[in-house]
Amino acid sequence: MYSQTLTVYSHILAVYSPTLTVYSHILAVYSPTLTVYSHILAMHTLTLAVYSHILDVYSPTLRVYSNILAVYSQTLAVYSHILAVYSQTLTVYSHIFIVFSQTLAVYSRKLYMHSQTCTVYSHILDVHSQTLAVYSHILAVYSQTLAVYSPIHAVFSQTLTVYLHILAKHPHTLEVYSHILDVHSQTLAMYSHILAVNSQTLKMYSHILAVYSHTLAVYSHILAVSSQALAVYSHILDVHSQILTVYAHILAVYSQTLAVHSHILAMHTQTLEVYSHIHAVYSQTLAVYSHILAVHSQRLTVYSHIHSVFSQTLAVDSHILAMHSHTLEVYSHILAVNSQTLAMYSHILVVNS
């Protein structure tokens, strides 16, 4: 009976020994795998730290480029505003230039008209001067004629007085002297009439001469005023010409300044495009690194889960191995006890025999 029991325990011990070997082998396999997964977990943790550091570095750089982009955008807006102001100023100066050009043309026309008026008045003054000379000559001639007729009138008056005296002394020659007296009286009356007419003509010509003299003075004054006006308009024309030259120079300077600011605006626009491109590249790079970081985070989570599962499995297998080892030790102890008991009974059997 004890021999059979010993056989059973030996069979159990033989069964448990391969099982223990299998569990030891599983434990030996799981331990390197767990080490590999721990190493992978450490590498992914390090990679995750590296990508997190890269992300931390790229984020401030991206903020810097965003700030630079904002500054260049504001600078571009300022230059655009300056360009608009210069354009408006250029428009205003162009309008002023046109107005001064038109004013200059008006003053030129007025200067031309006053020049013609001055020429006309000068011609009228020459004509009136010649007419005044003619009337002065006629007045001189009439004065000489009056001087001639006055002595004749005086002679005829004296002759008439003589004839009257002779008539008073010689009454018998009354008819002859009466006839002579009548003829001389008529001649005297005629000369008196001629003298009166010549006196009136002399007064008339003197009046015409005074009128022409006054007219000549008026035209001379008009000519002087027109000459002064001509000088004033010439001065205004010179001043406007100089102002027009100044505005033309200002217009040219503003045009050049506008061209320079347009070039600066174009350069800043290109720089803004470059920084916008850099910003877009950094944004895409940051998105890529963020995606890689998310993928590595997911992988780290998966590997952490696998590591946890393998750790739990290894713990369970280690516990089972420990239990089996303990059971094997128990059965080995029972086998030893049974073997000793069997040996004792065998000795007793030999002694009894």
pLDDT in tens, 57-71: 767 877 887 787 788
pLDDT at residue 182 in the model: 76
Residue 128, pLDDT > 80, answer: no
For residues 261-278, give the mean pLDDT: 80
Residue with the larger pLDDT of the pair 204 and 175: 204
Has residue 318 got a pLDDT over 80?
no
Instruction: Give the pLDDT score at 61.
Output: 72
- Sign, CA torsion 222/227/229/233: positive
Segment 272-280 shows an average pLDDT of 80
Regarding predicted confidence, which is higher, 200 or 306? 200
Q: Does 1.10.10.10 match the CATH number of domain 2-343?
A: no
Summary mean pLDDT of the chain: 76
CA separation for the pair 194, 224 (Å, rounded): 43
- Asked if pLDDT for residue 308 goes beyond 70, the answer is yes
Q: How much is the average pLDDT of 88-102? A: 79
Phi/psi for 264 (5° steps) reads -60, -40
pLDDT of residue 87: 73
Over residues 167-186, the mean pLDDT reads 70
Q: Is the pLDDT of residue 333 over 80?
A: yes
| pLDDT reading at 171 higher than 70 | no
Please tell me the distance from the alpha carbon of residue 150 to that of residue 156, in angstroms, as a whole number.
10
Residue 188 CA to chain centroid, in angstroms?
Answer: 103
pLDDT of 322 strictly over 70: yes
pLDDT surpasses 80 at 186: yes
Q: Which amino acid is at 288?
A: V
With bands split at pLDDT 50, 70 and 90, how would you rate the model's confidence at 149?
low
Q: Could you give the 3-state DSSP secondary structure of residue 170?
A: coil
In this predicted model, what pLDDT tens digit does every residue of 198-242 receive, in sequence order?
778 778 877 877 887 787 788 778 778 877 877 887 787 788 778
Q: Which of 33, 34, 49, 41 is nearest to 300 (CA)?
A: 41
Q: Does residue 130 surpass a pLDDT of 80?
A: yes
Q: What is the DSSP letter of 102?
A: H
Query: Rounded mean pLDDT of 163-187?
Result: 71
The position carrying tokens 């003299």 is: 213
pLDDT for position 172: 66
Going by pLDDT thresholds of 50, 70 and 90, the confidence category of residue 3 is low
pLDDT at site 350:
82
- Quick check: 15 pLDDT over 80? no
CA 221 to chain centre: 56
Mean pLDDT of 326-343: 78
**Mean pLDDT value of segment 291-297:** 78
pLDDT at 2: 58
Of 289, 246, 290, 349, residue with least CA distance to 2: 349
Does residue 331 have a pLDDT over 80? no
Mean pLDDT of 156-179: 72
